[in-house]
Amino acid sequence: MIEIQQLTKSYNRKVALDQVSITIPTGKIVGLLGPNGAGKTTLIRIINQIITPDSGHIRFFGDLLKPKHLNEVGYLPEERGLYRTMTVEAHALFLGQLKGMNKQEVRVQLDYWMNKFDILSWKTKRIEELSKGMAQKVQFIFTVLHEPKLLILDEPLSGFDPINVEIIKKELLALKEKGTTIILSTHNMKSVEEICDFAYLIAEGKVVASGTVAELQEAKKEGVYAIKFSGNMIAFVNALWTNYELIDKEIIGDNRFITYVKMRGEAGFEELLTALIGQVKLEAAWEVLPSMHDVFVQTIQERKEATNA
Ligand code: ATP
C-alpha cells in the first residue's frame, strides 16, 4: 500500500497541506476530493516528487518514496500537455523510454491499448491532428503504457463524451482488477460513487472525512425512506401520524406512488411499516442515502459553520 504520513507543505506562509495522513490500499481506487484550493494537487505533486514536503513522508509499498519509484507511477495531470507536432507513436516511444521501457516494449503496449480502444489508425497521426477528446484518450494510454503500480489521475473523465467516459471507467476497473492502485482526484461525485472503493475529503489542507463511499454516505444519512405503494394518499398520510414527515412524493401510476418519509424522534423503520400495513398496499421500501455530492457539500458546510462559530 501507499502510506502518506503527516505530510505538511506551505507556499510562503500559506499552508497547503497540514499533517495529512492517507492510506491507499494496494489494488483499490481511492478518490481524492475537496473544494478548489484544498491541497489535492499539492499532494499529488509531492507523490510525483515534483515538489518536496516540509515534513512528513510517503511509504511506497513499504519503502520510503524515492526517485527510482517514479518508473512505477503513472500520472495524468489535469493540465494535459503533449508535443503537438509529434506522431502518437513517436510520443509514446519518447514517454515510454523515459519510464524505462525499451522501444519494443513500448510498441507492444501501444498496439495493445490502441487496439483495445479501436484507434490503431491514429498511431501515425500527429497530436495536432487529434480532437481534444482523442488527444485525451491518447494521453490516458501514454499514462498506463508502462504498467505502473500506482496510477494518479487528475480529472481523467473531464472532456470525454459519455461513451468514452464509460470506456475509461471500465478500463480503470480492469486495471484495478489486475492489481493497479489508483488515486483519482476529481470533482465528479458520480464517478466517485461508481468506481471508488475509498474516498478522502480534504479541505484547507486537512483530511476532514474519509472512509468507503458507503461509510461516508451512512455518516450523513438523515433517516429518509422511500415507500412505493398503491392505494389512497390520504390513508397513507393519516397512517404516518406525527412520527414521520412526508417530504416528497411522486405519482407513478393510477393510485400508485413513491413517497419520501423522514423519521422524527425515536420512530424507527419497523414502526413505520407497521403503521402502513393494512392502510395501503406496500410494494417496496428502501433507505435513501445521500449522494456523494450531498456528502461533500454538507461536510464542507458543517466545517465552515464550525470554523465561524
Ligand atoms: P483545485 O481543485 O482548484 O485544483 P487543489 O485542491 O488542487 O485545488 P492546490 O493546487 O493544491 O489545491 O492548492 C492548495 C493551496 O496552495 C491553495 O491555497 C493555493 O493557492 C496554494 N498554492 C498552490 N500552488 C502554489 C504555488 N506554486 N505557490 C503559492 N501557493 C500555491
Residues 53 and 173 in one domain: yes
Identify the pLDDT of residue 308: 81
Residues 42 and 164 in one domain: yes
Residues 233 and 171 in one domain: no
Query: pLDDT by residue for the chain (309 residues), tens digit each?
Result: 899 999 999 999 899 999 999 999 999 999 999 999 999 999 999 999 999 999 999 999 999 999 999 999 999 988 778 899 999 999 999 999 999 999 999 999 999 999 988 899 999 999 999 988 889 999 999 999 999 999 999 999 988 899 999 999 999 999 999 999 999 999 999 999 999 999 999 999 999 999 999 999 999 998 899 999 999 999 999 988 778 899 999 999 999 999 999 988 777 889 899 989 999 999 999 999 999 999 999 999 998 888 887
Grid cell, residue 146, equals 508502462
Task: Name the residue of 10, 17, 42 to mutate for ligand 1: max ligand atoms within 8 A of Cβ.
Answer: 42
Query: How many domains does the chain fold into?
Result: 2
Identify the pLDDT of residue 264: 84
CATH code (residue 150) = 3.40.50.300
Kindly state whether residue 13 falls inside one of the protein's structural domains: yes
Residues 68 and 161 in one domain: yes
Residues 150 and 163 in one domain: yes
**Buried-exposed string 89-105: b where 16+ CB fall within 10 A, e elsewhere:** bebbbebbeebebeeeb
Q: In angstroms, rounded to a whole number, what is the distance separating the alpha carbons of residues 47 and 153?
A: 12
CB 31 within 8 A of CB 198: yes
Identify the pLDDT of residue 267: 79
Kindly state whether residue 236 falls inside one of the protein's structural domains: yes
Nearest CA to ligand 1 atom 1: 36
Residues 195 and 85 in one domain: yes
Closest CA to 48 of 152, 146, 155: 152
Cα 293 to ligand 1 centre (Å): 22
Q: In angstroms, rounded to a whole number, what is the distance separating the alpha carbons of residues 42 and 60?
A: 18
Domain that holds residue 228: 222-287
Cα 11 to ligand 1 centre (Å): 9
Nearest CA to ligand 1 atom 16: 16
Instruction: Report the nearest atom of ligand 1 relative to the CA of 43.
Output: 11
Kindly state whether residue 295 falls inside one of the protein's structural domains: no
CATH code (residue 270) = 3.30.70.60
Nearest CA to ligand 1 atom 19: 37
Residues 36 and 149 in one domain: yes
Identify the pLDDT of residue 133: 86
Cα 300 to ligand 1 centre (Å): 17
Nearest CA to ligand 1 atom 20: 37
Which of 171, 197, 218 marks a domain boundary?
A: 218
Identify the pLDDT of residue 132: 86
Cα 8 to ligand 1 centre (Å): 13
CB 24 within 8 A of CB 151: no
Kindly state whether residue 293 falls inside one of the protein's structural domains: no
Cα 16 to ligand 1 centre (Å): 7
Residues 15 and 135 in one domain: yes
Cα 152 to ligand 1 centre (Å): 17
Task: For residue 250, give the amino acid letter.
Answer: E
Cα 38 to ligand 1 centre (Å): 7
Nearest CA to ligand 1 atom 28: 11
Nearest CA to ligand 1 atom 3: 36
Task: Name the residue of 12, 18, 33, 40 to mutate for ligand 1: max ligand atoms within 8 A of Cβ.
Answer: 40
Model-level pTM?
0.89
Kindly state whether residue 176 falls inside one of the protein's structural domains: yes
DSSP letter assigned to residue 289 = P
Kindly state whether residue 19 falls inside one of the protein's structural domains: yes
Cα torsion 60, 61, 67, 71: sign: negative
Identify the pLDDT of residue 217: 96
Kindly state whether residue 298 falls inside one of the protein's structural domains: no
Kindly state whether residue 239 falls inside one of the protein's structural domains: yes
Residues 209 and 232 in one domain: no
Nearest CA to ligand 1 atom 14: 39
Residues 227 and 190 in one domain: no
Identify the pLDDT of residue 243: 82
Residues 151 and 46 in one domain: yes
Those residues whose C-beta lies under 8 Å from the C-beta of residue 181, and which sit 6 or more positions away, are 1, 2, 24, 25, 26, 27, 28, 30, 149, 150, 151
Residues 271 and 238 in one domain: yes
Cα 98 to ligand 1 centre (Å): 27
Nearest CA to ligand 1 atom 11: 39
User: Which protein residues touch ligand 1 with a CB less than 6 Å away?
Assistant: 11, 14, 16, 34, 36-42
Please state, in angstroms and as integers, the Cα–Cα distance from residue 79 to each residue in 112, 150, 158, following that order. Answer: 26, 19, 11
Nearest CA to ligand 1 atom 29: 11
